[in-house]
Amino acid sequence: MSDLQPLAPPVPQVPASPGAAAAATAAGSGDEQPVRADGRTGARSAVTTSPSLIYLVDDDLEETARIAAVVHEATDYVVKVFPSPSLARRALLAEPVPPTVLICEQEMREVDGISFLATVRQELPDTVRVLLTAHADKRSLMRAVNEGGVFQYVEKPWDPEALLLVVRNAIERGDLVATLRRTVAAMQHNNQALSTALSQIHAAQERLLESERMAAVGRVASGIAHEIGNQLSVLSYAELIRDRYPDDGEIRLFTAAILSARARLGGLVGEIRDFSRVHGALPSNPASGSAPAQPRIELTEEPVNQSVQEALSILRFDPAFRLRTVDRVLDCPAIARVNRDKLVQVFVNLLRNALDATAPGGEIHLRILADPLRPGGPDGTRPEAGAAPLAGPAAPMVRIVIDDHGAGIAADIMPRIFEPFFTTKGDRGTGLGLGICRSIVAQHEGQLIVESPVPALQGAGDGHPGTRVTVTLPRVA
């Protein structure tokens, strides 16, 4: 704020002109009017749309008219005069563009000028405030500065040249404040645009790095699949053993398990080869973020619980499985379009993760839940047999939920659980299981959701946060 500057010694006042008298008459009517250089009052609409405004508040109508005429003639600003602070405040709040300068008399009948300027300071801080006063004592000036936040004051009786100097200084300050506001707003807008662009650049870089990393993973996976495929031929001897001892039930049971494992490993090799075909080369435009298309798989309609039961029958030979309590609710007959071999691969992998997460004697809960089917198709008719699942946010789903009472997944690890080759199992893990499971579920147009900790399990009293894995698949009639 500039220092308060008292004006020059008083000089004889300028006599009122006819235009000033007209302005004083308008002020006395209780309604503000613009004062023009030619002494005529302008239309209200011309004033309210002009940003170059000066407000003058004084209940001395003759003096108000003289000041308004002098200021407007010298500055070409539109001056609005008000006989009382209440009328001025009402107009201030309704003004689309606040006035640049507000000149207010200290001694008024309704309220003193400093109190009025203090109110304006709170509501319109950018309007420059000037005080007209006949009592320029130190106490009044300190109050004007501290409460009203005045820019300068004009001591009465006022000199036209000194008055205009104060007004011009106030106008210059108001213009600087307005320019500063516009500059700050423009900088904030530019900063927001730059922040958005920077976020997009970072996202594009992340997608590019992910594409390059997945390309390297795909090339490595292709070599791994080739080597595993070559070794699977050894498991074909199980067929010879089965045929050599056709009457031995125990041998037939064991060879069936071996041949089933061979089939699963063959499916896994195929999955790795699919993975390598999708990710073995960079996409044509990595920065676009478009994900490679998932390879198509054959789907048939069948109850989901059949795939779950088959996964459990495979795991019954696992010693770790026998040392856990598996609570299962699998009587839900919901049907989905599935590839059983690949879906069994998903459930075996997820159940083995649950085994690894729990200690011997721990609990695993396995449930199948289903949304009710709609009574009809989208048009209200009964859906045809073999029709695709109903689309839309309310489409019924089948949910396979696996809960384990294990140690859970740490918050800093959760974002990385689907990264290729990331594992917390050390040498026992490859870091591909969850990623492949999610890919298979996505090929079924479903979702794989991992949650940890699980509130329902935390309240079980064993102190373990637990993990919940949910596979959702579209249900069909």
**Contact present, 42 and 22 (Cβ < 8 Å):** no
Reported as a pLDDT band with limits 50, 70 and 90, residue 455 is confident
Q: What is the pLDDT of residue 20?
A: 37
Q: What is the pLDDT of residues 341-369, one digit of tens each?
A: 889 989 998 998 899 888 888 889 999 99
Q: What is the pLDDT of residues 285-308, one digit of tens each?
A: 433 334 444 557 789 999 999 999
Angle between helices 304-315 and 340-357 (to 10 degrees): 50
Q: Please name which of 307, 294, 408 lies closest in space to residue 349, comparing C-alpha atoms.
A: 307
Residue position matching structure tokens 């730059």: 194
User: Omega before 10 cis (within 30°)?
Assistant: no
Average pLDDT over residues 95-122: 87
Query: What is the DSSP pairing of strand 53-57 with strand 101-105?
Result: parallel
Neighbour count for residue 393 (Cβ, 10 Å): 4
**Contact present, 88 and 98 (Cβ < 8 Å):** no
Reported as a pLDDT band with limits 50, 70 and 90, residue 275 is low
**Contact present, 377 and 383 (Cβ < 8 Å):** yes
What percentage of residues in the chain have a pLDDT greater than 90?
17
- Its pTM stands at 0.46
**Contact present, 345 and 267 (Cβ < 8 Å):** yes
Mean pLDDT of the chain: 76
Q: What is the pLDDT of residue 63?
A: 85
Q: What span, in angstroms and rounded, lies between the C-alpha atoms of 308 and 332?
A: 11
- The listed range with the strongest mean pLDDT (59-68, 239-248, 334-343) is 334-343
What is the radius of gyration, based on Cα positions, of the chain? 42
Reported as a pLDDT band with limits 50, 70 and 90, residue 271 is low
DSSP string, 162-185: HHHHHHHHHHHHHHHHHHHHHHHH
Q: What is the pLDDT of residue 154?
A: 85
- pLDDT above 50 for 274: yes
Residue 211 exposed, middle or buried by CB count within 10 Å (0-12, 13-18, 19+): buried
**Contact present, 34 and 47 (Cβ < 8 Å):** yes
Question: Which residue would you say has higher pLDDT here, 6 or 86?
Answer: 86
- pLDDT above 80 for 268: no
Query: What is the DSSP pairing of strand 300-303 with strand 325-329?
Result: unpaired
Q: What span, in angstroms and rounded, lies between the C-alpha atoms of 438 and 260?
A: 23
Neighbour count for residue 425 (Cβ, 10 Å): 12
DSSP 385: T
Query: What is the DSSP pairing of strand 467-476 with strand 335-338?
Result: antiparallel
Q: Where are the alpha helices (DSSP H) in 95-159?
A: 113-123, 138-143
Q: What is the pLDDT of residues 397-433, one digit of tens each?
A: 999 999 998 888 888 888 888 877 777 776 666 677 7
DSSP 427: G
Neighbouring residues of 323: CB distance < 8 A, sequence distance ≥ 6: 360, 361
Reported as a pLDDT band with limits 50, 70 and 90, residue 390 is very low
Q: Which of 42-56, 81-95, 222-236 is predicted least confidently?
A: 42-56
Average pLDDT over residues 115-125: 88
Question: Which residue would you say has higher pLDDT here, 317 or 449?
Answer: 449
Neighbouring residues of 196: CB distance < 8 A, sequence distance ≥ 6: none
CA 288 from chain centre, in angstroms, equals: 21
What's the angle, vertex CA 263, arms to CA 261 and CA 267, rounded to 5? 115
Q: Is 405 helix (H, G, I), strand (E, B) or coil?
A: coil
Q: What span, in angstroms and rounded, lies between the C-alpha atoms of 141 and 428?
A: 83
Q: What is the pLDDT of residue 220?
A: 72
Q: What span, in angstroms and rounded, lies between the C-alpha atoms of 383 and 380?
A: 9
Average pLDDT over residues 41-47: 36
Q: Where are the alpha helices (DSSP H) in 233-297?
A: 237-244, 249-279
Q: What is the pLDDT of residue 187?
A: 92
